[in-house]
Amino acid sequence: MTTHRVEDPLFKRYPRRTTLIISLVTTVLLLALWWMVTAFGWVKPLFLPSPMTVVNRIGDLSTSGFADATLWEHARASLFRVFGAFVLAVLTAVPIGIVMGIHDFAKGVLDPVIEFYRPLPPLAYLPLIIIWLGIGETAKIVLIYLAMFAPICLSTRAGVAAVAREKILAAATLGAAKWQIVWHIVLPGALPEILTGMRVGIGFGWTTLVAAEMVAATAGLGFMVLNAKDFLATDVVIAGIFVIGFVAYGFDLFMRWLEGRLVPWKGRV
- Choice between 68 and 11, residue whose per-residue pLDDT is larger: 68
Please give the model's pTM, rounded to 2 decimal places.
0.86
Tell me the HSE value of 37 on the side-chain side, using a 13 A CA sphere.
14
**CA–CA gap between residue 141 and residue 224 (Å, rounded):** 18
- Condensed to tens digits (0 to 9), the pLDDT of residues 32-84 reads 999 999 999 899 988 999 999 999 999 999 998 898 899 999 999 999 999 99
- Distances in whole angstroms, Cα of residue 162 to Cα of each of 53, 105, 240, 248: 50, 18, 40, 29
* Cβ(205)–Cβ(147) below 8 Å: yes
- Mean pLDDT along residues 234-256: 91
The Cα 35–Cα 52 span in angstroms is: 9
Separation of alpha carbons 55 and 65, rounded Å: 14
Res 9: pLDDT: 64
Residue 104 pLDDT > 80: yes
Ramachandran category for residue 68: left, alpha or beta (phi over 0 → left; psi -120 to 50 → alpha): left
- The whole-number average pLDDT for the span 228-232 is 89
pLDDT at 224 over 90: yes
- Amino acid identity of 19? T
**C-alpha distance across the termini of the chain, in Å:** 27
Mean pLDDT confidence for 17-35: 92
pLDDT value at residue 146: 95
Q: Evaluate if residue 15 carries a pLDDT over 90.
A: no
Helix (H) or strand (E) holding 260: helix 234-262
Nearest to 93 by CA among 179, 171, 256, 204: 204
Where on the phi/psi map is residue 78: left (φ > 0), alpha (ψ -120 to 50), or beta? alpha
pLDDT in tens, 134-173: 888 999 999 999 999 999 999 999 999 888 788 888 888 8
Q: What is the pLDDT of residue 211?
A: 85
pLDDT at 1 over 60: no
Tens of pLDDT along 177-207?
888 888 888 888 899 999 999 999 999 999 8
How far apart are the C-alpha atoms of 82 and 70, rounded to whole Å? Answer: 19
Quote the Cα angle for 123-119-125, to 5°.
Answer: 30
pLDDT at 5: 55
Q: What is the mean pLDDT of residues 87-114?
A: 93
**CA distances to 7, 199, 263 from 258, in Å:** 29, 11, 8
Q: Give CA separation, 236 vs 48, 49, 65, 67, 85, in Å.
A: 11, 10, 10, 11, 26
**CB of 66 closer than 8 Å to CB of 53:** no
Q: What is the CATH number of domain 53-262?
A: 1.10.3720.10
